[in-house]
Homo-oligomer: A and B are copies of this chain.
Amino acid sequence: MTIQTSKNIESGQGNISAARIHEYNSPLVIEDVQKPIISTPEGVLLKVGAAGLCHSDLHLIYGHWQKALPIKLPSIPGHEVAGWVEDTGISVPTSIKKGDLVAVFGGWGCGYCLYCKRGDEQMCQQAKWPGLSEYDGGFSEYILVPSYRFLVKPGEQPTLMKPEQIAPLTDAGLTPYRAIKKVRHLLGPNKFVAVVGIGGLGFYGTQYARIFGSGANVIAMDRSEAKLKMGTEIAGADFAVNISEPHEIKNKVKKITKGKGIDVILDTVGSENTINIGANSLSKSGTMVLVGLFGKEVKMPLFQTVLNEYQIYGSLWGNYNELCEVIELAKNGIIKHQVQKFSLSEVNEAIDLLVTGNIDGRAVIVP
């Protein structure tokens, strides 16, 4: 049984422009699709203001995740979305109204399982993520959000915030935030924390390492001097280590940390290479948090893992409250943005630049 549930019955009529995957490992097709219709009392229709482009989109588009995350094609990617409310379902409270600029929390959980009930909806077994499930994502003029409970209003001064600043916060800004929060109790005045990979996530991660570091020394690690510069000069890292020459890393780390090694490593890449660099750089009691998905395996030396009491954490995206906290940091000017804008028709160009490592910060599609 379907019931008419939107407040404005005409909001879902007509066609809109969107970028879709038609087959894996091919360019996205920019084409007309039907405008989505609010189908639940809590649903909200948004006019997309901006949608970030993520390495996860590449994994999806290239078909790496056909088995792990099967979706039906054609499908619109884009799970990092901010936009304006266009119409609302009949149960949506009046605090969410037409014209509001909102961020979309993408971990759309069932609301009823252990994980949803503890507030980690992104961990839900039955989570449906926009652009990564049967729900279409944000590389489109409009997006349908199944419940207002997945929206965050940046609040009183929305004029200060543009959608292209908000959108990246919902994943590039959120994922390293959760990761750093998992280890904040390990940071402090005489600790060293490194962020590996100063791309979309690492740029924010470096800033969080400083903000949550409680006086810890922050090290940026990347193969690109330009990104290292961004890490130190904009994001606030104290040290930069170029990891393109593996044999020099150990000595550099030794020198910076006065021989003790790095206490906490946030790896936003997750390649065999970066995990190995981390494993060789950890201090006693050292901790590695993994959010990047480039590799296949986590490999650590057993003897050192036990004798040094290493800890290795996987960390997945972030939850709703964490997104609110990230947005609060942005509102208060505590974190900086670094975005490159592309129109919807330039989406394949943006993908190519991301693949070749030529995006500084986050690429954002502005339909």
With A290-B306, A307-B314, A314-B306: A284-B112 Cβ-Cβ less than 8 Å: no
B297 touches A302 (CB 8 A): yes
B189 touches A329 (CB 8 A): yes
With A211-B214, A215-B329, A215-B332: A299-B301 Cβ-Cβ less than 8 Å: no
A300 touches B303 (CB 8 A): no
Across the two chains, which residue of chain B brings its CB closest to A306? B314
* Bound CA span A244–B148, Å: 45
B325 touches A314 (CB 8 A): no
A117 touches B321 (CB 8 A): yes
In the complex this chain forms, how many copies of it are found?
4
Across the two chains, which residue of chain B brings its CB closest to A270? B302
With an 8 A cutoff between CB atoms, is A308 at the interface?
yes
Instruction: Pick the residue among B185, B189, B313 that contacts A185 (CB under 8 A).
Output: B185
Q: Name which of A15-23, A118-126, A344-352 contacts chain B.
A: A118-126
Instruction: Pick the residue among B190, B311, B325 that contacts A328 (CB under 8 A).
Output: B190
* Bound CA span A123–B309, Å: 9
With an 8 A cutoff between CB atoms, is A324 at the interface?
yes
B311 touches A305 (CB 8 A): no
With a CB–CB cut-off of 8 A, which chain B residues contact A324?
114, 190
* Bound CA span A320–B113, Å: 10
Across the two chains, which residue of chain B brings its CB closest to A330? B189
A315 touches B320 (CB 8 A): no
With an 8 A cutoff between CB atoms, is A160 at the interface?
no
Binary contact track A145-182/B, C-beta < 8 Å → 1, others 0: 00011000000000000000000000000000000000
A189 touches B302 (CB 8 A): no
With an 8 A cutoff between CB atoms, is A280 at the interface?
no
B284 touches A305 (CB 8 A): no
A-B complex: 10 closest residue pairs judged by Cβ atoms = A305-B314, A189-B328, A306-B314, A118-B119, A312-B312, A189-B325, A298-B300, A190-B328, A119-B119, A189-B329
